[in-house]
Chain A
Amino acid sequence: MAVPVIAGTTPQVQKETEASNPRDSLLRVNSNNQAFDFFRPWRKKPPFSRRGIGVLIEGGRILVTAELVANSNFIELEKAATAEKSAATVERVDYDCNLAVLKPVDPGFIKAMNPMPIDGNLKVGSELEVLQMEPNGDIARTAAKVTTIGVGGYPFENLGLLVFKAAVPLQQREGSFTLPAVRDGKLVGLLMRYDARNQTAEIVSTPVIRHFLKEMEDGRYEGFARLGLSFASLRDPQLRRHVKVTEPGGIYVTEVVPGGSAALAGIRKGDVILEIDGKSIDQDGNYDDPEFGRILFSHITSTVRHPGETVAVRISRDGKVEDLKVALQVPDRSRLVSEAHITDRAPRFLVLGGLVFVELSRSYLQEWGADWAKAAPQRLVYYDAFQNELPEDRGKIVVLSQVMPTPDTLGYEDLQNHVVLKANGRTVRSLEDLAEASKEPLGGFHKIELEEDPKLIFLDAQSVEANKDALMKHYALPALQRL
């Protein structure tokens, strides 16, 4: 998703020669990553490496995008000028905000370097520089100009956080997966996407970086809270009259995520949100930010405020104005029916007599490629897309992913991507449920009930048990389950 830097034209690049050298704060970061194979969850895909630039900040921390080090096996820091290297570990990574902090294994490695301060107060039209590295370690600076500041989707979770968009004609250079954007020697953000055609970059913004670092401070990292609702604009005067809103502005709540911050505060579908944290919300959901102008309210609830804080929300319900307190919380991702991504963590699976079971996640669906929403089995796509509408106790969607044919699976060879409802009479809401159920076959058979045709399949429990070793050996499976 984050496109490293590719530019078509030759921009004006000034070579770094001054004494106040940002080179003293920058390191090459080489991350050897290896993603899991969700179709064959017992193995990893071929490894690959990503190279970017990390920024040394206060506290001996090296800031990079999360995407650079996603599913990393080994991370190496390299000094630009001397090519000295040191291994590094991830101190903290948050895929919501696409940021990670690395620490060198040898703390002395960064001793002679200068941490880069973090800037703020960017405006539309502010000029900044995007830094790249030449092969010889020189810094290549490309002038950039902020064109838009607004809330936009971050990769992985598609969470809306503040993004700086900048016009910048970058050249294609080796190792540009993450690049710092600086102003007057201070860090303002990290490039996370670059559109070479339009020569525009999307930059992880300073407030997001500050929030991430602040969360790390108290040793109890929570991350970015979500209000947990969807809304629609309230421009339509007919709708405004219908919902009896007389105050200006306001947005119409179209969906409240069960168990989310908004739901727990009593916000309901159909409410009109007029104010958040004392700021008036306009008909499109924007408020007047003293620093960045008119931006979406979620900047307050996700970034300005931290999890655990309470914000005042003024709503209009049936023409009556009410004031509510919303305790901001980070949703418990493990409780989601289908997680938006599974990174740095092996997918869970269970193989029973050659039937391969997994839990639905968007990472699984993305194995169908860029066009997964169309190419993947539609029932699974719908489960992912409309998961908030499922009963609260739905649990995980356990999927019979594929069949590795054995004598036990005769006649079932073609089954794939079937949703499992029950096993041996028990409702299946997780792979654990399935593992438990498989300990108690019914009358010597595993009876597995599927949501779609063929609906019902059987395995001979004794034979499944007896053939375990043969199955592992035959298909070279390192294990029959990972829970």
Chain B
Amino acid sequence: MFRALVLFCAVFFAVRAGALEISRSLVRIESTSQVPDYKTPWNPGEVESGVGAGFVIDGNRVMTNAHVVSNARFLTVSKEGDPNPYPARVLHIAHDCDLALLEVKEADFFQGTKPLEFGGIPALESVVSVYGYPIGGTRLSVTRGIVSRIDFQTYSHSGIDAHLTIQIDAAINPGNSGGPVMQDGKVVGVAFQGFSGDIAQNVGYMIPTPVVRRFLMDVEDGRYDRYMDLAMTYQSLFNPAARAALGLKDDNLGVMVSSVYDGGSSAGILQSGDVLLAIDGHNISSDGTIPLGDEPVPLAEVVERKLKGDSVKLDVLRDGNPLALEVQLTEPWPFTLQANAYDEMPRFVVFGGLVFQPVDENFMQEHAPGNQRLKYLYDFFVEDSVYRRHPELVVLSNILADPVNAYAGDFRYAAVDKINGQQIKGLRDVAEAFGQKADVYVIEFVGEGRPVVLEGKAVAEARERILARYGVVNEQNLDK
């Protein structure tokens, strides 16, 4: 369902600008961005522009959504009542929770502005106001609504991260993104996504302050790490037989660990079949929620609020024996492969007219390959530990047709397994293998019975010809 969520870079309504207190804090952001081209990765990509909202917070910083300023090449901010756009720069950007902080070089900009303060989680049914620049207008707009629901939701900017989210019934439209949602003079959320009208009416989402505060805390050291994860899955424990078999009482407490992903925080600590009874001292209900604040929230909320290197204490029942375990939190690689990525250039290697690219969500979305084996390797990358053999999947993404590669056509979207006998673990290995002088380059693909063979001499002869004919300005990019 979250795929239907639309990110809102601009929403507007009636205007009473100037009279409002908020007009001293609200900022209109214009962004010129460049979207990378994963099909012709040596090209610079299309230039686009968009409008979003933001607001001034302490330290002369402007807060907005990550998606408002993603892939930005040039940013300006302007305030109510001042027609001048001021050039701005991204200070920190967190794609996994769709938040960003901007700085403005000209100190004048902040003269007369008022930094907003953050509040807590607003109560259900309480009234909130949303400010922004919907549908591209230049004057501020305000809409009102009530808090409809507080729950975990996938943030569609990254597509894989789910955090606490507050649903409101105020109209939120493109252009509202990054604008403050206010209650009693304090920010209680940052407007960020909603549904398109044909899916649901009057459903808007804002990023609540626990997520915002965590972001601000994370960047205190000057860099954004990202959300940490236990890298495991759990299952509710309603079934009486399962409860009895696992040695649990009929007290509605505890969930069972299903998968523990190796390479993740919990690897070697938790096991499939363990029962989690408490996390940091909070009892875990059999549906996986913990009492935190007024409403029960998923146990992951404890992890959500922590930073890299922090630990989580877990009360565990293993084979009937209670254990007190501690998990130190690390980044959730390799899950991040399946997130939408921004602010990075496509990586690739061109050799003998064969284009090699690493596979990630951006690649899959743009190429939409029909190759069944590649889909398997990608879809089950984490679950089946494909990453152990292929930490980075590199595929033959395109063939710049030339006599040298006339018979490689069957291998489009096949994943590279070996080159000249060397196991390929990532794009750098590909570049390295082709960088070595050889009479012949034998490229083996995963699950393909026959290799592609390129003779060194033929590749060298074809090189200039292919680059010129296809306008390949750069034969490789190994860095993001």
- Asked if A and B bind, the verdict is yes
B-contacting residues, A207-240, CB 8 Å: 230-233, 235-236, 238-239
Chain B residues lying within 8 Å of A373, measured Cβ to Cβ, are 372
The chain B residue sitting closest to A447, CB to CB, is B245
Q: Give the residues in chain A near B242, CB-CB below 8 Å.
A: 411, 456-458
Q: Would you give the shortest CB distance from A404 to chain B, in whole angstroms?
A: 15
Q: A378-B376, A411-B239 are known; give 10 further A-B pairs, CB within 8 A.
A: A236-B453, A252-B449, A382-B376, A411-B242, A443-B245, A445-B241, A456-B258, A456-B272, A456-B273, A460-B244
List the A side residues contacting B375 at CB < 8 Å: 378
Chain A, residue nearest B454 (CB)? A238
Cβ–Cβ contact B455 & A238, under 8 A: yes
Is there a chain A Cβ closer than 8 Å to B233's Cβ? yes
Name A460's contact: one of B241, B258, B452 (CB within 8 Å).
Answer: B241
What are 23 A-B interface contacts by the 8 Å CB criterion?
A231-B449, A236-B407, A238-B407, A238-B458, A239-B451, A239-B453, A242-B442, A253-B449, A254-B449, A255-B449, A269-B449, A381-B372, A382-B376, A385-B372, A409-B239, A410-B239, A410-B240, A411-B236, A445-B244, A456-B235, A456-B256, A456-B272, A458-B246
Number of B interface residues in the complex (CB < 8 A): 39
What residue of chain A has the Cβ atom nearest to residue B383's Cβ? Answer: A452
CB-CB nearest in chain B for A229 = B449
| Chain B residues within 8 Å of A269, by CB | 449
Query: Contact at B453–A230, with CB atoms within 8 Å?
Result: no
A454 is an interface residue with CB less than 8 A from chain B: yes
- The 6 A-B pairs at the shortest CB distance, nearest first, are namely A254-B449, A236-B407, A411-B238, A454-B235, A460-B241, A411-B239
Q: Given A232-B410, A411-B236, decide whether A386 and B241 contact each other with a Cβ distance below 8 A.
A: no
Distance between Cα atoms of A454 and B380 in the complex (Å): 16
B212 at the interface (CB under 8 A from A): no
Given A239-B407, A454-B235, A460-B241, verify A254-B453 contact (CB < 8 Å).
Answer: no
Cα separation A239 to B408 with both chains bound (whole Å):
10
Report the minimal beta-carbon distance from B89 to chain A, rounded to whole angstroms.
43
Q: Could you say which residues of chain B place their CB within 8 Å of the CB of A408?
A: 241
The verdict on B14 contacting chain A, using a C-beta distance below 8 Å, is no
On whether the beta carbons of B241 and A463 are closer than 8 Å, the reply is: yes
Measured between beta carbons, the chain A residues less than 8 angstroms from B447 are: 386, 389
Contact of B238 among A232, A385, A410 (CB under 8 A): A410
* CB-based contact B272/A455 at 8 Å: yes
| A131→B31 CA distance, assembly (Å) | 71
Measured CB to CB, the nearest residue on chain B to A411 is B238
Tell whether, in the assembled complex, residue A232 and residue B450 are in contact, meaning their CB atoms are under 8 Å apart: yes
Say whether A453 contacts B233, CB under 8 Å. Answer: yes
A459 within 8 A of B: yes
Interface mask (A265-287 → B, CB under 8 Å = 1, otherwise 0):
00001100000000000000000
- Taking the complex as formed, is A241 at the interface, i.e. its CB lies under 8 A from any CB of chain B? yes
Asked if A412 is an interface residue, CB under 8 A from chain B, the answer is yes
| A473, CB-defined interface residue at 8 Å | no
Chain B contacts to A: CB under 8 angstroms: 233, 235-242, 244-246, 256, 258-259, 272-273, 372-373, 375-376, 379-380, 383, 406-407, 410, 440, 442, 447-455, 458
Contact A236 B406 (CB under 8 A): yes
A447 to B273, alpha carbons, bound, how many Å? Answer: 11
Take A239-B450, A239-B453, A454-B235 as given contacts and tell me if A386 and B245 are in contact as well, using a CB distance cutoff of 8 Å.
no
Does A335 reach chain B (CB closer than 8 Å)? no
Q: Which residues of A contact B (CB under 8 A)?
A: 230-233, 235-236, 238-239, 241-242, 252-255, 269-270, 373, 378-379, 381-382, 385-386, 389, 408-412, 443, 445, 447, 452-460, 463
A459 and B449 within 8 A (CB) = no
Interface centre among A242, A269, A381, A447 (most CB of B within 10 A): A242
Given known contacts A242-B440, A378-B375, A455 and B259 CB-to-CB distance under 8 angstroms: yes
**Residues of chain B with a CB closer than 8 A to A239's CB:** 407, 450-453
Contact B258 A458 (CB under 8 A): no
Q: How far is the CB of A270 from chain B (nearest CB, A)?
A: 8
Residue of B nearest to A234 (CB): B450
| List of A residues within 8 angstroms of B448 by Cβ | 254
Contacts of B452 in A (CB 8 A): 239
Contacts of A270 in B (CB 8 A): 449
**Chain A residues, Cβ within 8 Å of B240:** 410, 460
Chain B residues whose C-beta falls within 8 Å of the C-beta of A443 in the assembled complex: 245
Contact of B256 with A454 in the complex, beta carbons under 8 Å = yes
A230 touches B245 (CB 8 A): no
Minimum CB–CB distance from B458 to chain A (whole Å) comes to 7
> Given A252, A379, A386, A454, which contacts B450 in the complex, CB threshold below 8 Å?
A252
State the Cβ distance, A188 to closest chain B Cβ, in Å. Answer: 35
A242 surroundings in chain B (CB, below 8 A): 440, 442, 451, 453
Residues of A within 8 A of B246 (CB): 458
User: Given A386-B373, A453-B259, are A235 and B272 also a contact pair (CB < 8 Å)?
Assistant: no
Question: Please, how many angstroms separate the alpha-carbon atoms of A411 and B237 in the complex?
Answer: 7
- What separation, in Å, do the CA atoms of A449 and B294 have in the docked complex? 37
Contact of B239 among A231, A379, A386, A458 (CB under 8 A): A458
- Give every chain B residue within 8 A of A447 (Cβ-Cβ): 245
Once the chains bind, are B245 and A458 in contact (CB under 8 Å)?
yes
Hey, which chain B residues are within 8 Å of A235, CB to CB?
407
Q: Is the CB of B235 within 8 A of A382?
A: no
Query: Of residues B246, B372, B442, which shows the largest number of chain A Cβ atoms within 10 Å of its Cβ?
Result: B372
B397 CB to nearest A CB, Å = 20
Is the Cβ of B440 less than 8 Å from the Cβ of A412? no
Residues from chain A with a CB closer than 8 A to the CB of B449 are 230-232, 252-255, 269-270
Let me know if B458 and A455 touch, CB within 8 A. no
A411 to B256, CA, bound (A): 12
Q: Is B241 within 8 A of A455, CB to CB? A: no
User: B272 touching A457 by the CB < 8 A rule?
Assistant: no
List of A residues within 8 angstroms of B256 by Cβ: 454, 456
> CA separation between A238 and B376, bound complex, in Å?
30
CB neighbours (8 Å) of B273 from chain A are: 455-456
Q: Residue on B with the closest CB to A450?
A: B258
Rounded to whole Å, the gap between the CB of A450 and the closest CB of chain B is: 9
Q: B235 is contacted by which of A232, A379, A455, A463 (Cβ under 8 Å)?
A: A455
Are the C-beta atoms of A241 and B241 separated by less than 8 Å?
no
Closest Cβ neighbor of B241 among chain A residues: A460
What are the residues of chain B within 8 A of A381 when measuring CB–CB? 372
**Distance A235 CA – B409 CA, assembled complex (angstroms):** 12
| Cα-based distance from A429 to B376 in the complex (angstroms) | 23
Nearest to A230 among chain B residues (CB) is B449
Chain B residues contacting A456 (CB-CB under 8 Å) are 235, 242, 256, 258, 272-273
> When chains A and B are docked, how far (Å) is the Cα of A378 from the Cα of B379?
9
How far is A389 from B233 in the complex, measured between Cα atoms in Å?
28
Chain B residue nearest to A453 in the complex (CB): B258
- Nearest chain-B residue to A238 (Cβ)? B453
- Which A residues are in CB contact (< 8 Å) with B244? 445, 458, 460
